[in-house]
Structure formats: structure tokens, C-alpha cells
Amino acid sequence: MNVLLAVPLVVPLIGAAVTLLLRAAPRAQRITSTLTLAGVVAAAALLVARTADGDVVASQAGGWAAPLGITLVADPLAALLVLVSSVVLLIVLLYAIGQDVGGLSRAMPQVFHPIYLVLTAGVCLSFIAGDLFNLFVGFEIMLTASYTLITQAPTRARVRASMIYTVVSLTSSILFLTGIALVYALTGTVNMADIAEKLGAAPPELRAVLALLFFVVFGIKAAIVPMHFWLPDSYPVAITRISAIFAALLTKVAVYAIIRTQTLLFARDDISAVMLWVAIATMVVGILGALVQDDVNRVMSFALVSHIGFMIFGLALNTVAGLAGVVVYLVHHIVVQATLFLVNGLMRQYVGHTSLRAIRGLTTVSPALALFFFLPALSLAGLPPMSGFIAKVALFEAGLAAGGWLVYTGIAAGVLTSLLTMMAIFRIWTRAFWGTPLPDMVEAKAQLRRGANLGGLRFMTAMTGVMVGLGLVVAAAAGPLAEFSFVAARDLLDGGAYVQAVLGGGAP
């Protein structure tokens, strides 16, 4: 069973090597990437089934025992996130393939496929790494791949955005490395289970400082206020498939890292007041930013920042119910953000841009597009019966159960943010979707129809539809998901099973 753990890491890397060799044969490249990701999805599904009872699976690379060797660990949360991420990665890959087949993109497929698979390996490693240093390695694999991906089909704006993105990410990486060095100096180990046992003896002030350092490190990558400024400047500029994956996964990997370090390594109440303040600020500042943007992609990027706040809020509650809410929210948010960015990509295909100033009457241009925007947008705002509603209710209920004036403020901020998200969405809806289409939009669509690209475009639309469907499935499967999230949350707060699986069992 432990074999499964390494699959999401090794298989994409082998796939990347094969697609790099197949750069002259685009069809074979597409098939390889798709099969690779399908394999990862299958392995992740088995992992989820394996951990559904709260078991933690661990594997020691090369058979070297735990505190010394490379440890791969999957607890319920990690397994679930690997599954959701790989499904989203697969759908976005198919969307990208449709775009390439239809000749609708200027991205270089021979570069895109290998690096996309490397990114997959990085994301999966970040989720299943059992020690801080391999978490760092996972982040670096993911980020290095993303530095390349963000400049696909380079324009001046993209190169500029990638500069900001790269510099900010590298800054956070340096801080991360510093943090690891400090933890190592304090405890003499980088294995997270081992650190969890040894940090308890450290002076509380020192522990709080370390907790804060790691919170800042991952906070930069998760784009929490006040370290969010880089995200709306870089994500929307990249090509659709890239911004969809970045928005869906990269920030969430960082949120996962925050959850992992703050629950397992540091005593939970060390910095929870700080986290609550940060969560409130992130929610409100993010959504206020979204309200004044003129570009749909930028609105969505600010909304992304704002909704990271919800997850931090749930984590700061530091109760089982709060963490369970965070788990549901993570799943919901990954799917919804990917969907919305794919829809924005379709919008770009139809209209040629995503600026609200020059879009009218999209409903007439493409009813399917309108539907595909409407459903996930409602989910983002948190209207019942969508997954966003379920996730938010779970968080608010956990907050009410926890109590305290700061928590109540957080709930108020959350409700306000949800209302403002609705406002931002209706702003897009009334401006872009209502009314009669502008003449050049009709022209653009006619031109699209005249081209021989329809098959690719239909496939892209179908894949967006699949992603919307996935969002509905998340809502429909709320019962099992909630059950699973409580199992995951208990494991997170307890930490005993994790430590036991890594250090105790020992058998490779």
C-alpha cells in the first residue's frame, strides 16, 4: 500500500521525461500527459480510500528509517488534496489540449507538457512530504515550473508579471530556508513528526517566533493580506490554463503548508490571535479590491485573495469543527477557482479580452458560457445549495461554537465578504452578460465560427462544463465530504496518528 504514496511524485516526473523526448510528436505527447495524470488520479483515489478511516500512510524512501531518511506521508487531508488537485490538473490539461488542437493558443505545447507534469510532481510532493526540507523541495519544484509556465506565450505584460512573481516567490523561499535552518538549530531534525515531539520542550516565545516566521513564509505564497499585492498583478496576466492552475492550486498548497505547520509543529494557540486578525484583513481587503477592478480576471484574483481569509479564519479557531470547515473550503475553493478562470479563458476566446469596459451581452453570444459562469460564481459567493454555502456555513458554525469577540468579528467579516463577493459577481454579470452584444463582439464570434477551430473550442467548452459539474458534485457529495473532513480534522488536531505512522511503525 505504501507503494501508492510515491506514485503521484515519480510517475509525473517520468511522464515529464517522456514528453520531453516526444517534443516532435505532439499527439504522443498529449496522450502521455493525459495517461500520466489519469494514473495520478487513480493512485490518489486509492490513497483517499486507504485513509478514509483516519489512518496515516507513511513510506520511507530507500528504506532509511524515519528521522534521517526522506519520508512520504499521507494523512486524510493530504490524500484528499492530492486527489482533488490531480483531478483539476487533468481537466485543465484536457482543456489545454483542446485549445492546442484547435490552434487557439500561442503557448508552446512541447514546453508546456513536460513542465506541467513537473508542476504536478511538485504539487503532490508538497502535499505528501514528511519533512520540512522536502516540503521546501516540493515548493521549489512547483515554483520553478511555475516561473516557466507564467511566461508561456510571452508578451511584455507577462514578462513583467513574471518578474514580480519570481522575485516575491524567491524572497519567500529564502525565508523558508532560514526557517528550516532555525528549526534544525533548535531541534536537530527536519522530520516534521520528530520536530513535533521535540519542539514541545522549546521555550514558548521561541516557538511563537518560529510559528510566525513560517506563517509569513507560507502567507506570502498564499497571498494573505498584507502580503497579497503580487497575486493580482501576476496571475491574471498568464494564459488561461496557467492562471487557472495557479489560482486553483498554488495558493492552496501554501494554505495546506500553513495548516500542516501550524497544527503539527507549533502549539496551536501560539499565534492564533494574529491569524484571526490577518484572516479578517484578508477577507475584507481582498474583496474591496475585487469591487473596483475592470478586468474579469483581476476581479477573480482579488476574490481569490479574499477567500484565502476564510481558510485562515477556520484554522485560527483551532477546533475540530473549524479545521473540518477549512478542509471542505479547500476542496470547494480549488474547484471553483479553476472553473472561473477556465470560463474567463473561454470569454477571452469569444471576445478577445476580458475587460468589463468592452463586453456586453455575453448571454446572447454564448448561453453556455453564461451558465458556466453563473453556477461557480454563485458558489463562490456562498449561495445555497452550492458548495461555497456548505463550506461557509461549516466555518461560521465552528466560529459560533468557539466564541469570543474576535471570532464574532471574523464571522461578521466573513458574512460581509460573502455579500460583497455577490456584489462583485453581479457587477460582472450586469456589465458583461446583460444587454445587447457590442458590434465587434458579434464580429469576433463570427470570425471564430468561420475559422476551422470549432472542434477544439467545443472540447474546451465541454471541459469547462466538466469542471462546473465537478463543482456540483462537491456540493452533492457534501455529506461524505463533511464526514471525511471531520476525520481529517481530528487527525490534524491530534497529530498522534501522524507521529505514530512516521516514527512508530518504522517498517518501510
Partner 1 sequence: MPVNGSRPDTPADGPTGTGPPEGWEAPRERWLSTVVRPAFGPRSVLLEVVARLLIPAILTFSVFLLVSGHDRPGGGFAGGLVASMAYVLRYVAGGRHELAAGLPLRPNTLLAVGMLLACGTAGAPLLVGAPVLDAVQYKFTLPVFGEVKLLSALIFETGVFLIVVGLVLSVVAALGARMEAEEQEAREERAGRRPRGGATAGGGGA
Pick the binder of partner 1 from 72, 180, 196, 467 (CB under 8 A): 72
Q: Which residue lies nearer to partner 1 by CB, 54 or 352? A: 352
Name residues whose C-beta falls within 8 Å of residue 502's C-beta, 6 or more positions apart in sequence.
56, 58, 66, 71, 73, 130, 191, 192, 193, 194
Q: Which residue lies nearer to partner 1 by CB, 123 or 470? A: 123
Interaction between residue 33 and partner 1 (CB under 8 A): no
CA 123: distance to chain centroid? 9
Place of cell 519570481: 166
Pick the binder of partner 1 from 66, 94, 104, 300 (CB under 8 A): 104
Q: Choose one: 74-82, 150-158, 175-183, 382-390; the region binding partner 1 (CB under 8 A).
A: 150-158
Q: Which residue lies nearer to partner 1 by CB, 240 or 318? A: 240
From residue 384, give the alpha-carbon distance in Å to each of 72, 193, 283, 377. 38, 39, 20, 12
Pick the binder of partner 1 from 55, 233, 397, 494 (CB under 8 A): 233
CA 301/CA 196 separation, integer angstroms: 35
CA 380/CA 306 separation, integer angstroms: 11
- According to DSSP, the residues that pair with 295 across neighbouring strands are 355
Pick the binder of partner 1 from 31, 39, 184, 352 (CB under 8 A): 352
Tell the smallest beta-carbon distance from residue 99 to partner 1 (Å): 8
Q: Which residue lies nearer to partner 1 by CB, 170 or 206? A: 170
Interaction between residue 197 and partner 1 (CB under 8 A): no
Interaction between residue 451 and partner 1 (CB under 8 A): yes
Name residues whose C-beta falls within 8 Å of residue 156's C-beta, 6 or more positions apart in sequence.
none
Q: How would you class 84 by CB atoms within 10 Å of its CB: exposed for 0-12, middle for 13-18, buried for 19 or more?
A: buried
Interaction between residue 240 and partner 1 (CB under 8 A): yes
Interaction between residue 293 and partner 1 (CB under 8 A): yes
Q: Choose one: 148-156, 304-312, 328-336, 376-384; the region binding partner 1 (CB under 8 A).
A: 148-156
Interaction between residue 416 and partner 1 (CB under 8 A): no
Interaction between residue 105 and partner 1 (CB under 8 A): yes
Angle, CA 344 vertex, CA 362 and CA 35 arms, to 5°: 130
H or E element at residue 506: none
Interaction between residue 458 and partner 1 (CB under 8 A): no
Tell the smallest beta-carbon distance from residue 153 to partner 1 (Å): 6
Tell the smallest beta-carbon distance from residue 29 to partner 1 (Å): 12
Interaction between residue 462 and partner 1 (CB under 8 A): no
Pick the binder of partner 1 from 74, 77, 91, 161 (CB under 8 A): 161
CB atoms within 10 A of CB 62: 7
Q: Choose one: 157-165, 166-174, 272-280, 366-374; the region binding partner 1 (CB under 8 A).
A: 157-165
Interaction between residue 35 and partner 1 (CB under 8 A): no
Phi, psi of 360, deg, nearest 5: -140, 150
Interaction between residue 439 and partner 1 (CB under 8 A): no
Pick the binder of partner 1 from 110, 171, 364, 409 (CB under 8 A): 110
Grid coordinates in use for 364? 446572447
From residue 390, give the alpha-carbon distance in Å to each of 142, 261, 401, 467, 476. 30, 26, 16, 18, 10
Interaction between residue 155 and partner 1 (CB under 8 A): yes
Tell the smallest beta-carbon distance from residue 212 to partner 1 (Å): 31
Interaction between residue 119 and partner 1 (CB under 8 A): no
Interaction between residue 157 and partner 1 (CB under 8 A): yes
Pick the binder of partner 1 from 35, 49, 68, 153 (CB under 8 A): 153
| Helical H segments across 366-495, by residue range | 367-381, 387-402, 405-428, 439-450, 454-476, 478-494
Interaction between residue 171 and partner 1 (CB under 8 A): no
Interaction between residue 349 and partner 1 (CB under 8 A): yes
Tell the smallest beta-carbon distance from residue 268 to partner 1 (Å): 32
Tell the smallest beta-carbon distance from residue 462 to partner 1 (Å): 18
Name residues whose C-beta falls within 8 Å of residue 169's C-beta, 6 or more positions apart in sequence.
143, 146, 147, 220, 221
Interaction between residue 198 and partner 1 (CB under 8 A): no
Size of the site for partner 1 (CB under 8 A): 59
CA 467: distance to chain centroid? 15
Q: Choose one: 129-137, 173-181, 292-300, 415-423; the region binding partner 1 (CB under 8 A).
A: 292-300
Q: Which of residues 469-498 bind partner 1 (CB under 8 A)?
A: none
The verdict on whether omega for the bond into residue 109 sits within 30 degrees of 0, i.e. cis, is no
From residue 137, give the alpha-carbon distance in Å to each of 129, 141, 210, 213, 504. 9, 6, 20, 18, 25
CA 332/CA 250 separation, integer angstroms: 15
Q: Which residue lies nearer to partner 1 by CB, 14 or 42? A: 14
Q: How would you class 449 by CB atoms within 10 Å of its CB: exposed for 0-12, middle for 13-18, buried for 19 or more?
A: exposed
- According to DSSP, the residues that pair with 57 across neighbouring strands are 74
CB atoms within 10 A of CB 115: 20
Interaction between residue 86 and partner 1 (CB under 8 A): no
Q: What is the DSSP letter of 61?
A: G
Please give the residue ranges that form the binding site for partner 1 (CB under 8 A).
2-3, 5-7, 9-11, 13-14, 16-18, 20-21, 23, 59-63, 70, 72, 102-108, 110-111, 114, 153, 155-158, 160-161, 233, 236-237, 239-240, 293-295, 297-298, 348-349, 352-355, 451, 453, 508
